[in-house]
Amino acid sequence: MKFIYKLGNRMIRKCQSLLGISTLGARAIILNSKNQILLVKHVYQSHWYTPGGGLKKGEPVKKGLLRELQEEVGITVIGEPQLFGIYHHTYLGVNDYPIIYIIKNFTQIPCNSPEIEKMDWFDYDNLPQMTSPGTIRRLNEYFGNSPHSDTW
C-alpha cells in the first residue's frame, strides 16, 4: 500500500509541477483539556502529523478542514477554528500551501478511517520520535519556542 501511494503521489506531483498547479491543504493543532496535541500516523507514511488534508475542488478551507477532521479522527469542532498560519512548501516541485488552525473546543467520537493507522494524544515535551519535521516546527511556533515562519 505504501509503495503504491508513494508511486501514485510522485506521478501526480510530477504532472502538477509540469502544469504549474499549486496545492492547498488545511491542518489543525488540536489541543485537549490537558494541553496535549492530537497526532495521526497515516497508513502510507512513516511520520506522525497534525490531522487534516487536501481540499476538494471549490471547497472552502474551513469546510475542508472540518470535513477532514470528522473523516479522519471523528472530531466535530465547536465554534470557529482559530487561524494560526499560512505556509509555503515545495514538495516534489509543486508549490503547496498548508493552512494551519488551532482547535481547543470539540467533541470526538470513535472513528475508523482507512487512511489512519494510529492516532494519539501527546504532551508537547514527549512527541513521538517519528514526528514530521514540519509538524515539529509548527508546534515549536505555537508553544513559543521558535519564531513564526512563512516556510513549512
Measured distance CA(37)–CA(31) in Å, rounded: 5
Residue 45 pLDDT > 90: no
What mean pLDDT comes out for the span 24-38?
A: 96
- CATH assignment of the domain containing 137: 3.90.79.10
Q: Is residue 151 part of a domain?
A: no
pLDDT at 23: 77
Characterize the bridge pairing of strands 52-54 and 23-30: antiparallel
Measured distance CA(13)–CA(124) in Å, rounded: 32
Q: Is residue 101 part of a domain?
A: yes
Structure confidence at residue 145 as a pLDDT band (50, 70, 90): confident
What mean pLDDT comes out for the span 83-95?
A: 86
What mean pLDDT comes out for the span 43-63?
A: 93
pLDDT at 13: 61
Which tens digit of pLDDT belongs to each residue from 91-142?
A: 777 788 999 999 999 999 999 999 899 999 999 999 999 999 999 999 999 9
Q: Is residue 24 part of a domain?
A: yes
What mean pLDDT comes out for the span 51-69?
A: 95
pLDDT at 27: 98
**DSSP structural state of residue 80:** P
Closest to 73 measured CA to CA, from 42, 35, 36: 42
Q: Is residue 147 part of a domain?
A: no
Tell me which residue range forms the domain holding 124. Answer: 2-142
C-alpha cell at 137: 516546527
Q: Is residue 87 part of a domain?
A: yes
Q: Which residues pair with 103 in a beta bridge?
A: 30
Q: Which residues contact 2 (CB under 8 A, 6 or more apart)?
A: 43, 44, 45
Measured distance CA(77)–CA(93) in Å, rounded: 33
Q: Is residue 149 part of a domain?
A: no
Number of domain units in the chain: 1
pLDDT at 95: 83
Task: Give the chain's mean pLDDT.
Answer: 90
Q: Is residue 152 part of a domain?
A: no
pLDDT at 89: 86
pLDDT at 73: 98
**Placement of cell 508537547 in the chain:** 124
